[in-house]
Amino acid sequence: MMRLSSNLRRYRWLVFAGWLLTLVPAIYLTMTQSGHLTGGGFEVAGSQSLFVHDQLEDHYPDQGASRLHWWPHRAPTPPMRT
């Protein structure tokens, strides 16, 4: 571990450049792939899951995608004894 630490300190700019060269293409791929992955693409015509999905949309038209909310629960403060 000491040797690894020493080498990382000695070649810190090389390590930084390596991470930067890895991070730049990763960010580019992340930005370009979001258009290809929208919707999941797992719908198979005639499948049972698609049939159920369509039935649920027909029976509950006003229900959209759920929005998740999180509110911290605050327990009531116990009364103080004097």
Give the pTM: 0.39
Q: How far apart are CA 10 and CA 21, in angstroms?
A: 19
For residue 50, pLDDT over 90 is answered with: no
Q: Are 50 and 43 in contact (CB under 8 A)?
A: yes
Lowest mean pLDDT among 44-53, 54-63, 70-79: 70-79
Which of residues 51 and 72 earns the better pLDDT score? 51
Residue 72 tokens read as 């911290």
Q: How far apart are CA 35 and CA 28, in angstroms?
A: 13
Q: How far apart are CA 18 and CA 12, in angstroms?
A: 10
Q: How far apart are CA 53 and CA 65, in angstroms?
A: 12
Angle, vertex CA 55, rays to CA 49 and CA 61, nearest 5: 125
